[in-house]
Amino acid sequence: MTARRILLPLIPVASFLLAWELAARFGAVNPALFPPPTAILRQLALMHTRQLPERSLLLTHIAASLQRVFIAAAIGTALGVAGGLLMGVSRWVHRLLEPIITFLMPIPGIAQAPLFIVWLGFGDPTIITVGVIATFFPIAFNTSAGVRSIDPQLVRAARIMGASRPRILTSVYLPWSAGHLLAGLKLGWARCWRTVIAVEFVAAASWGLGYMIWDASEYIRTGVVYGGILLLMIVYFVIERTLFRTVERWTVERWGMIHT
Amino acid sequence: MRLGAPKTLAQTWKSRALAFGQFVLPFLFVGGLWELLVQTHVVTLASVPAPSSILVRMWEMATGEGILWRHLGRSMYRLGIGYALATGAGLILGTTLAMSRILREMLSPVLSLLISVPTIAWVPVFLITMGLGDRTVITAVFLGGFFAITYNTIRGIEMVDRNRVRAARTMGASGLSLFFSVLLPGSAVSILTGLRLGIGYSWRALVGGEMLSAMISWGIGKMIYQARFWNDVTAMFVGLMVIGVTGLLLDRLLIKQIERTTVERWGMLAER
């Protein structure tokens, strides 16, 4: 069964790649626009090895993007959880922030980028700020939804047993909303990743996967463009498999909330 | 659906007006505070315009030569075509994959791999292969909506009661009639979720695509991008507001309206 699940998807992928390879090799499509997959891989390998003793261009690009994503996601998560808890606990904060978040959330990060370029200049400050904003909204939204769904009896019980307000926040509200929170984290971090890549297109100074793809497309280096997209898939896949799974195991599964 | 005394029209309007007021009030509050900070010279940065000057600029752009409408109209044209294509293709592929187990097993991992790539990252590929104009933007819009619609169509059709499908088949329904009379209504809730997510993604992809395509000169994304060359922050804010409001209207008016005429009337939605 597992073999079937792995092998079946390989059929369309392999035949697509093979057809592409042959079409490009034998001139059925323009190899300048659609370089054969093997050429794309070679180009990626070349980017990795060309300046190797000092550094790998490829890994530097990946590291630059990941660093931005991690910083932005960390700040955005902290702000988002704090904001969400506040919105969940206080009706007034909720009334104030909920419409504003609803309005601002759908505005794409890349559209905010020009504004922050004026304010903060090209490079990391702009990219990370827009990334923080992108992370903040879904996490705040979901955390507040989670907190608001709490059974008030639990809060009362905790209060009767003498728990302080901060204690109630960390030991009652937070675990209760863990399911919502986790959904928010996934949304927020995925969004952070997409936004950082997108903003790198317009605001990066020299490094980053988004910058690499955009720069390559300006010089019509198609191999690098396709290779960059392949890298985006791989990096995202690895992050999802490692980070998300780990977080899930730490929190929700341990608290036995996976089925709610 | 919860039973109770039906609302009169006046009550409906009253509760809608109340909801609208609650939605608008925070913006007035934040906008007022911001205006105050600028007017009292607490914030004196040239790159932070007062809300009043943003609104004035918006008014000038909307009236006068109507630049704003031209930008917006161009964007809507691209959104319309791309989103219509995404809906059509998403429904067809989604239905096909939901009906055929082997195709689903073959293609759904591929789909989830493709979904993980930000739509905007495909734009350079389109720019190279399809040129720097409308075609690239429309393809980005298409791709933005396509995956969400496909995915939710698959889920929706999978959730349709198999016995209902068998019953319809026994009674001689097949092909298109099976799709339109059984599968489509049965999966409408999920499909609408897909359409709703899809228009959001399409709208975002549109803005990004317009910013990156060099050969177009009209479009709301282009407007923001061009404002950068003159550090025209006020125009950027106008653009962002228009993007926000239009996105909200697309979601609230278009999708809500479809929802009201279909699944809500068929009683498939729990009262929210």
SS3 A223: helix
Q: Select from A33, A98, A198 the Cβ nearest to the Cβ of B129.
A: A33
Question: Which amino acid, B266?
Answer: W
Q: Of chain A residues 7-26, which have a CB less than 8 A from chain B?
A: 8-9, 11-13
Per residue of chain A (260 residues), what is the pLDDT tens digit?
577 778 888 888 899 999 999 998 888 888 888 889 999 999 888 888 887 777 888 899 999 999 999 999 999 999 999 999 899 888 899 888 888 988 888 899 999 999 999 889 888 999 999 999 999 999 999 999 888 888 888 888 988 998 888 888 888 888 888 888 888 888 899 999 999 999 999 887 788 999 999 999 888 888 899 999 999 999 998 888 887 777 777 766 666 555 44
Fold for B50-55+72-264, please state it: MetI-like fold (1.10.3720)
> Does any CB of chain B come closer than 8 Å to the CB of residue A72?
no
**For position A149, what pLDDT does the model report?**
85
Our CA dihedral for B31, B36, B41, B46, rounded to 10 degrees, sits at 20
CATH of region A56-253, choose from 2.40.30.20, 1.10.3720.10, 3.40.50.720, 3.40.50.9100: 1.10.3720.10
Q: Select from A5, A33, A98 the Cβ nearest to the Cβ of B105.
A: A5
The complex scores an ipTM of 0.85
B96-107: per-residue pLDDT in tens? 898 888 888 888
SS3 A208: coil
**For position B41, what pLDDT does the model report?**
77
Chain A residue closest in CA terms to B208? A110
SS3 letters across chain B:
CCCCCCCCHHHHHHHHHHHHHHHHHHHHHHHHHHHHHHHCCCCCCCCCCCHHHHHHHHHHHHCCCCHHHHHHHHHHHHHHHHHHHHHHHHHHHHHHHHHCHHHHHHHHHHHHHHHCCCHHHHHHHHHHHHCCCHHHHHHHHHHHHHHHHHHHHHHHHHHCCHHHHHHHHHCCCCHHHHHHHHHHHHCHHHHHHHHHHHHHHHHHHHHHHHHHCCCCCCCHHHHHHHHHHHCCHHHHHHHHHHHHHHHHHHHHHHHHHHHHHHHHCCCCCCCC
Tell if the CB–CB gap between A107 and B105 is shorter than 8 Å: no
B106-145: per-residue pLDDT in tens? 888 888 888 888 899 999 999 988 888 889 999 999 999 9
More confident site: B164 or B3: B164
A163 within 8 A of A236, measured Cβ to Cβ? no
- Residue B270 pLDDT more than 60? no
> Does any CB of chain B come closer than 8 Å to the CB of residue A216?
yes
In the structure, what pLDDT confidence band is assigned to residue B24 with cuts at 50, 70 and 90? Answer: confident
Residues 6+ apart with CB under 8 A from B79: B141, B202, B203, B206
C-alpha B33/C-alpha A115 separation (Å) is: 20
Tell if the CB–CB gap between B212 and A228 is shorter than 8 Å: no
C-alpha A215/C-alpha A224 separation (Å) is: 9
C-alpha A197/C-alpha A60 separation (Å) is: 15
**For position A260, what pLDDT does the model report?**
40
Tell if the CB–CB gap between B121 and A5 is shorter than 8 Å: no
B233-247: per-residue pLDDT in tens? 999 999 999 999 998
**For position A1, what pLDDT does the model report?**
58
Taking the alpha carbons at both ends of chain A, their separation in whole angstroms is 28
Q: What is the DSSP letter of A85?
A: H
B54-72: per-residue pLDDT in tens? 898 888 888 877 888 989 9
* Contact residues, chain B, for A194 at CB < 8 Å: 118, 120
Q: How do the domains of chain A map onto residue ranges?
A: 56-253
* Contact residues, chain A, for B93 at CB < 8 Å: none
More confident site: B12 or A104: A104
B66: left (phi over 0), alpha (psi -120 to 50) or beta: left
Tell if the CB–CB gap between A97 and B211 is shorter than 8 Å: no
Q: Of chain B residues 64-83, which have a CB less than 8 A from chain A?
A: none
- Residue B180 pLDDT more than 50? yes
Residue to test with chain B: of A10, A96, A105, A110, most B Cβ within 10 A: A110
Q: How far is B100 from chain A (nearest CA, A)?
A: 13
More confident site: B160 or A228: A228
For A47-60, give one letter per residue: b (16+ CB within 10 A) or e: beeeeeeeebbbeb
pTM of the model: 0.86
Count the neighbouring beta carbons within 10 Å of the beta carbon of residue B244. Answer: 17
**For position B137, what pLDDT does the model report?**
93
Highest mean pLDDT among A243-252, B11-20, B144-153: B144-153
B244-260: per-residue pLDDT in tens? 999 888 888 877 777 77
Question: Which amino acid, A157?
Answer: A
Q: Of chain B residues 198-257, which have a CB less than 8 A from chain A?
A: 200, 203-204, 207-208, 211-212, 221, 224-225, 227-228, 231, 233, 236-237, 239-240, 243-245, 247-248, 251
In the structure, what pLDDT confidence band is assigned to residue B199 with cuts at 50, 70 and 90? Answer: very high
DSSP string, A104-161: HTTS-HHHHHHHHHHHH-SSHHHHHHHHHHHHHHHHHHHHHHHHHTS-HHHHHHHHHT
With CA atoms as reference, report the closest residue to A234 among A38, A99, A66, A70: A66
With CA atoms as reference, report the closest residue to B131 among A16, A35, A217, A108: A217
- Residue B225 pLDDT more than 70? yes
